[in-house]
A = this chain, B = another copy of it.
Amino acid sequence: MTVVLAVSQAAATLIDIPSLSPTRGVILEQPEILKTWSSEEFQTFYYNQTLDHFNYRPESYTKFQQRYVMNFQYWGGPNAPILAYLGAESSIDSDLAVVGFLNDTAPRFKALQVFIEHRYYGQSIPFGSREEVMKNASTRGYFSSAQAIADYAQILLHIKKEWHAQHSPVIVIGGSYGGMLASWFRLKYPHIAIGALASSAPILYFDNITLIPPGGYYSVVTKDFKEASETCYQTIRNSWSVIDDVASQPHGLANLSRKFKTCKPLEEAAELKDYLDSMYTRAAQYNQPPRYPVTVICGGIDGAANSSSGNEDDILNKIFAGVVAYRVNQTCYVNPPRNVSETDIGWRWQTCSEMVIPIGIGNDTMFPPSPFNLSSFENECKGRYGVPPRPHWITSYYGGHDIKFILQRFGSNIIFSNGLRDPYSSGGVLENISKSIVAVKTKNGSHCLDILPASETDPQWLVEQRATEVKIIQQWLANYFADLRALIKH
């Protein structure tokens, strides 16, 4: 498990809203939610988007077709609100399937629903085929967050004009990376969005923002497992050296491959450890009701019978039982055949250009320590793409340092929602900044849970979290319409 791999992996987990990318082979935690969406109500549009908003070179004027989807079903017409989901690091199709907050709240607000696809994902690729675009350093270079939110600005202005909704208040909504985009959009384009719901947005997980303890992400993963089961946590904690030990013995890798029913023989112990790392972090990040994957894994680990062949074998058996409990009925585990997704490709570029999230593993976790090493990360990225990351750009452009100090007297109308069991919550805004820039957090929540569709099995604390968010947005809208009446009277 090299540092860089650990980082890429952890960073890559930022991208998965659960059940969001069926193509990635992730188990659908709530497959039934797909049925709640009727394609008839969602209409697809394409906007003739500008490639480069910030320069005036001849190539800057290149256009591409950017996809967005609207649902007018509940809209009250001009002046009635617009709920705009800002797409993140995947095709908008997958978000349409699982981001239920808009559809669930649109009737109450009489809102138009808009879902906008992020440039370089899904169908919104400049210059033609994604493969070619991402191979070429020049065409890839327009793939940035500032361009993406400028795209959103253009499309929202276009929609307002096109549907005579100039005075419709827009609330932007996003989760994870998309949540960051939503909060940044409110800060950069207050004339377009009157408020933002930023779900599980780790906007403080950049640069050297001091609020984050080193290894915050992995510390939360560890806490999740420890809270689920102290013995489970201990077993995992002890397992890494056992894997190394067994792997170093004659036929050790072959034995591990057999024991873990790997889809192809292991070539190094790191493959197994990375697989387990990824499984644990994913389970913690998406540790959501009703299944609670962390509990499932720990149930497997704690429930495995002790064998007669000794301590090391016991630990491996338990770990494998955890894998089986979580993955359920696979023909093989570890290194399953899997296509590299567009999210893998896109997000790797984004983390290697500007979204440098310095996730390391400290000494206080159930994982082997692995501090984040910026210079080796930079070298790796430079080797891969030819250009180095700009690790300070996000905080230069969007801020983040001393955020309460800065925003308590600037800005308004942002909800930062977090579930404290989500490892990314360690980079989230967890305290109110001002009267209208607020933190809504739940002790037991997971990554982006609040923007998933409401379900009858939702625990009370989740129902309350969503109700709180709706109430806050309702207040923003009430203030907005009061101001609008004054404007029109004037």
Contacts and interface: CB of A to CB of B under 8 A. Distances in A.
Interface of A: 52-61, 137-138, 140-144, 146-147, 150, 153-154, 157, 187-192, 353-354, 386-388, 390, 392-393, 395-397, 399-402, 404-413, 436, 479, 483-484, 487
A52 B60 CA distance: 12
User: What 10 pairs across the A-B complex have the smallest Cβ distances?
Assistant: A57-B141, A191-B399, A54-B54, A190-B410, A56-B353, A56-B141, A191-B406, A54-B146, A55-B141, A405-B487
Copy count, this protein chain: 2
A55 B144 contact: yes
A354 B55 CA distance: 10
14 contacts: A56-B144, A56-B390, A57-B138, A57-B140, A60-B141, A61-B387, A187-B190, A189-B399, A190-B399, A190-B407, A190-B410, A191-B401, A404-B487, A409-B436
A1 to B, nearest CB: 28
A172 to B, nearest CB: 14
B487 A55 contact: no
A96 B279 CA distance: 61
A58 B137 contact: yes
Contacts of A405: 483-484, 487
Contacts of A409: 412-413, 436, 479, 483
A436 B402 CA distance: 21
Contacts of A354: 56
Contacts of A402: 191, 487
Contacts of A413: 409-410
B407 A56 contact: no
Given A408-B483, A409-B436, A410-B411, 6 more contacts: A57-B137, A153-B396, A157-B392, A190-B407, A404-B487, A405-B483
A56 B479 contact: no
B399 A58 contact: no
Nearest to A487: B405
A48 to B, nearest CB: 14
Contacts of A401: 191
Nearest to A57: B141
A408 B411 CA distance: 10
B396 A154 contact: yes
Contacts of A61: 387-388
A395 B190 CA distance: 12
A393 B61 CA distance: 13
A413 to B, nearest CB: 7
Contacts of A400: 191
